[in-house]
Structure 1
Amino acid sequence: MTALLRYQTGLLLRSQRWLAPLLLYAAFLAVGVDAGEPVLGALGLAAAALLPVTAWSVRICVTQEPSAARNAVAAAAGRGRAHLAALVTGTALPALVGTVAALAVTATGDRRGVTAPAAVTTGLLAVLACALTGAAVGALASRPFVRAPGWSVAALVLGSLLALVTTGSPAKHAMTALITGARTATADPPWLACGGAVLLAAVCAVLACGATARLE
């Protein structure tokens, strides 16, 4: 798996296709988050914006290989494992960027009533919950489930929106915890939302890898 992850990461970095989603994320933070604003609210915005960015990144990774290269990798390592490596790679880069963003927001935000360790813990858990929920959306909105590029993008946008507003979504739960905390100046780390996101992402990855092995 390590070799597959290195291969997928190399493809992603050389293609420079990662620039578009991460520049979009940077632009959202520049417009939506101001230094000195309440830290929990700012962390909520930083985490929420990561969901569609991660979904987009996952779609990039699972579609970036030419067909001949994908078939060669599948023959050597198995289609399921190759697809899993693409899913993990597409999730890891946005999650890393989101972690850096959460630390920067905590350092520059107004932490009155909230300790730095509590803010960091809450922000990082929210980032992880949103990144993993976005990864689940990306896994379901791209190959092998949705092959046509237009329909895939539409499913990506709709799925990201629903994941942010639907009751029961781990991302929505994490956002609710941060919004409530911002109003009361109380950090409530969204452990449950993070655990739910881990489970959701794992289930979607298993479904996607299994479908890839059967359908491609």
Structure 2
Amino acid sequence: MIALVRYTFTVMLLSQRYLAPLLLFIGLVAVLTSSDTGPLTATYSSVAGAMLLCSVWLTMALTGLEDQPHRSIVVVSAGSHLRVLLATAGTAAVWCLLLTAAGLALPLLFGARTPGLADLALGTAAQLTSAVTGMAIGLLCSRLVFRRQGYALVAVLLLLLAVLLGKGVSPVNIMLTHLQNAPDSAEALVTTSVLLAVAAGFLAAALAITHAITRRRT
């Protein structure tokens, strides 16, 4: 599995498809947090929103790295479709962890703040909640599920709107609302950690659905 993740990560690097979501993330964080003088709970809420968009983009880019013949060769070499799919999700998780580190540091560079341990833990949990949810959306709207990219784009937009704007529909919406009103990071950390676990369940379901569709088509 580690070799598969390393292979997928290398292919992503060589393809340079990571550049667009990476630059989008840095740009969004810079715009949303550079003039923000409020509490870090609200700041990391904005960063988590940026993470959601970029994790969707990264995951869809990863699933579309290879055409069907090349993917079939990788599946045969790996031994199963599931291993390749898990390697894709693992690679997306690695990229999201790198973005999470940037999302923690950039708001501190743009503003004069001294974060506590609870602030950093909350920022990490909030970004990971968005990242895991975005990975689930990216898998469900990938080329593995939608052969026509126009349909995939419509599905992405609808799911993002539901996740961001639907009251109580997703852990991301609940988390962002809670972070905007939370008095301090320590209080918000418990709720955010629970929502991260819920988002992980969404990702597991997305992996199962994507795998089932992939197996049926092959």
Alignment partner of 1:203 is 2:201 = no
| Residue-by-residue CA offset, 1:54-113 (whole Å, 9 max, x unaligned) | 01111111111132211111112212211221122123203321232124425665669x
CA contact (8 A) 1:36 1:110 kept: no
Between the aligned partners of 1:193 and 1:174, the Cα distance in structure 2 is 7
Shift of 1:7: 1.0
CA deviation string 1:95-136 (max 9, x = no partner) = 321232124425665669xx6111111111100100000011
| Residues 117-128 of structure 1: pairs in structure 2 closer than 5 A | 117-128=117-128
1:42–1:105 CA contact under 8 A, matched in 2: yes
Secondary structure at 1:146 match in 2:
coil
Match of 1:179 in 2: 180
> Does the residue aligned with 2:145 lie in a helix, a strand or coil?
coil
Q: Is the 8 A contact 2:51 2:131 kept in 1?
A: yes
Partner of 2:16: 16
> CA contact under 8 A between 1:59 and 1:90: conserved in structure 2?
no
**TM-score when normalising by structure 1:** 0.89
Paired letter, 2:210: A
Q: Which one is further off, 13-22 or 80-89?
A: 80-89
Which range moves more in the overlay, 6-15 or 157-166? Answer: 157-166
Classify 1:2/1:185 alpha carbon distance in 2 versus 1 (closer, same or farther; 3 Å): closer
Aligned residues: CA RMSD: 2.0
- Structure 2 residue aligned with 1:144: 144
- Among 170, 194, 197, the residue aligned to 2:196: 194
The Cα of 1:165 is off from its aligned counterpart by: 1.8
Q: Which residue of 2 aligns with 1:70?
A: 71
Matches within 5 A, 1:130-141: 130-141=130-141
| Distance of 2:118 and 2:110 partners within structure 1 | 15
Residues 198, 135 of structure 1: alpha-carbon distance in 2 compared, 3 angstrom cutoff: same
> Tell me, what secondary structure is at the counterpart of 1:193?
helix
Which runs of 5 or more structure 1 residues have no equivalent in the other structure? Answer: none
Shift of the alpha carbon at 1:143?
Answer: 2.8
CA–CA separation in structure 2 for the residues paired with 1:23 and 1:66 = 25
Q: In 1, Cα distance between the equivalents of 2:10 and 2:161? A: 30
Matching residue's letter, 1:204: A
Bigger mean CA offset, 80-89 vs 17-26: 80-89
Moved over 6 A (4+): none
Query: Which letter maps to 1:40?
Result: T
2:94 corresponds to which letter in structure 1? A
Deviations 1:4-55 (A, max 9, x none): 1111101100000110111111111121112662221111000111111101
Question: 1:192 Cα shift?
Answer: 1.2
After TM superposition, give the deviation of residue 150 of structure 1 in Å.
Answer: 1.6
For the structure 1 residues 215 and 203, does the alpha-carbon distance in structure 2 shift closer, same or farther, using more than 3 Å as the test? same
Unaligned runs of 5+ in 2: none
Aligned identity (percent) is: 28
Tell me the distance in 1 between the aligned counterparts of 2:27 and 2:36.
Answer: 18
